[in-house]
Structure 1
């Protein structure tokens, strides 16, 4: 499950901190995994197999609110701030904060049309592939719903 942070790894594996620290250090020393600071968390990734853009995207997809925003924009390309607010149901300030971060990291594109900004996913195929590939690790019914829509209603 690439992109998980320390506490999430600890919760999912049920390991005490000392054991998890030992195993993470061992895997890093053997150059099996790497870590990077993203959004206030240290996230862990396999050394091989993921492009930099996928690591950046997973850092957002591992967070509930950014993931919901990304899925909304994937399903509704060209959404405005108001469109996203009505679909995701968070405060305007929270949405602005997350959109600004995702635009600056190249996950979301912002286009000004008249007096409104419209948002699209920079690489929708890559994001959709990550959601499908790591679907079970998100533990999120919104991801399941998106994947069912994308795949024509296939089984989870």
Structure 2
């Protein structure tokens, strides 16, 4: 009775699975066929350095759903990710090293203190850590931490040739990202209905 019905149901399910095409694998050729992944790709193209929760919020996706689709974009080598400040940020493979540098820079500058330090150095190059801390009324340890992150991201350079204390200057990338970063700040924020 029940055993025969169960066996027939299992066989019918397996037959339907193979007849109707089975599992569809995500390949580089079909990865952008879904609207969700296409939207994710376009968002990352426009806002490199965005992190998972930000992307999910802006595209009105559940973080788990966004993470799954982002993994598919990574597996097909369209998108890469990198851990910055405890968050995984995404950028396109297409832009190569420059896209990676820009994404990392933008991820760092989403922090208010880092952004203030970068803008201060853009307007006042050649300042040392204590001068920056005093001018921005920040703790020197906070400034030191952000300076280290910006130095690693090639946003600033340090010079110790004239003093025991290094003075800092924005790099070309630092100037460019600081100038263009205002576009990110002007981006409309998605509001819950």
TM-score for both structures, normalised by structure 2:
0.61
Larger relative strand fraction: 1
Task: Give the C-alpha shift of residue 139 in structure 1.
Answer: 4.7
- 1:17 and 2:66 aligned: no
Q: Tell me how large the CA RMSD over aligned residues is.
A: 2.4
Moved more, 59-68 or 75-84: 59-68
Alignment of structure 1 residues 117-156 onto 2, 5 Å: 117-121=166-170, 123-124=171-172, 126-139=173-186
Check whether the contact 1:3–1:62 (CA below 8 A) recurs between aligned residues: no
Check whether the contact 2:159–2:166 (CA below 8 A) recurs between aligned residues: yes
Report what 1:62 is aligned to.
110
Aligned partner of residue 95 in structure 2, secondary structure: coil
- Unmatched runs of 5 consecutive residues or more in structure 1: 141-156
Identify which of 49, 58, 64 aligns with 2:95: 49
Q: How many Å separate the matches in 1 of 2:150 and 2:76?
A: 32
- Unmatched runs of 5 consecutive residues or more in structure 2: 1-46, 188-193
- Describe the superposition over 1:12-67 as per-residue Cα deviations: whole angstroms up to 9, x where unpaired: 22321232123212322332211112232211001112514334423322322212
TM-score for both structures, normalised by structure 1:
0.73
Task: Give the C-alpha shift of residue 78 in structure 1.
Answer: 0.4
